[in-house]
Amino acid sequence: MRNNLWIADLDVEDRARIEPHLHLRDMARGQVLFDAGAPVDQVWFPLKGVVSLMTLLPDDKAVETAAIGREGLVGVTCGPMNARAVSRAVSQREGLAACCDAEAFGAALEVSDSLRLALSRYTEGLMAQVQQTAACNAQHTLDERLARWLLTLHDRAEDDRLDLTQADIAGMLGVRRATVSEVGAVLEKRGLIERGRGWLRVADREGLEAASCGCYGLMREVARELHLPRPQAA
């Protein structure tokens, strides 16, 4: 269970409040963990894989506003405990998660100040990611956005090869598949990525970082700052 970094960072007492309630669940590629407007009855702690939080638009389209891997959790950050979700959570690739009943997690939060603080620190970082993604989508070119998105996914995928179709990428970025094909060809020509049918490989990580806008670096720094080791008692 401690493959999940958020759980691993908890102190012994807080882990003991959660771990007895955890059970393993597979995450299939494209699986909707919960949809916008639906009750959230499980808190998901990814152990392997990537979950995208999707904001739904009035024209039945959706755009990714956050990506979560084994550094975090999915469920309570979408609304008050046991409330309905305001976003759709989708598994980007095959993975594995430890799940906790939302009521049990809420009960643990009620009795632990340190657990509430850990959740608050995490949601602060997630909110920063959401805000930066929104600004990026509004201001930066698609090639910069695609590079940033691939880096974010690569950080959490633990593999250079990403099983992605053009439709997958278009759906995450809220653009047409033809546009993704054109921009992907540019990145491939520069030697930054390699593409095949239904997959993409990061070929030059440093080059991809250079091609991305500054949003990726800002988001990465926030994640690092919020994952600092626990301060030692004096």
Look at residue 234 in the predicted model and tell me its pLDDT.
Answer: 36
Residues 150 and 131 in one domain: no
**Domain hosting residue 46, numbered range:** 5-136
Residues 101 and 181 in one domain: no
- Alpha-carbon Rg for the chain, nearest whole angstrom, is 18
Block residue for tokens 């959490």: 156
Alpha-carbon span 83 to 85, nearest angstrom: 6
Residue 221 covered by a domain: no
Q: How many domains does the chain have?
A: 2
What's the Cα-to-Cα distance from 220 to each of 152, 167, 213, rounded to whole Å?
A: 8, 26, 12
* Cα diameter, the chain: 58
Comparing CA positions, the residue from 75, 96, 81, 74 lying closest to residue 26 is 96
Domain edge (last residue) among 136, 160, 193: 136
Name every residue whose Cβ is closer than 8 Å to that of residue 231 and which is 6 or more positions away in sequence.
none
Q: Are 112 and 90 in contact (CB under 8 A)?
A: no
Digits of tens for pLDDT over the chain (234 positions)?
Answer: 668 999 999 999 999 999 999 999 999 999 999 998 888 889 999 999 999 999 888 877 788 888 999 999 999 865 555 577 888 999 988 899 999 999 899 999 999 999 999 998 888 888 888 888 888 888 899 999 999 999 988 888 878 888 888 888 888 888 888 888 899 999 999 999 999 988 999 999 999 999 998 888 888 887 776 654 444 433
Residues 68 and 125 in one domain: yes
Block residue for tokens 């520069």: 190
Tokens linked to 93:
């690739």
For CA atoms 211, 171, 79, 6, the dihedral sign is negative
Look at residue 110 in the predicted model and tell me its pLDDT.
Answer: 92
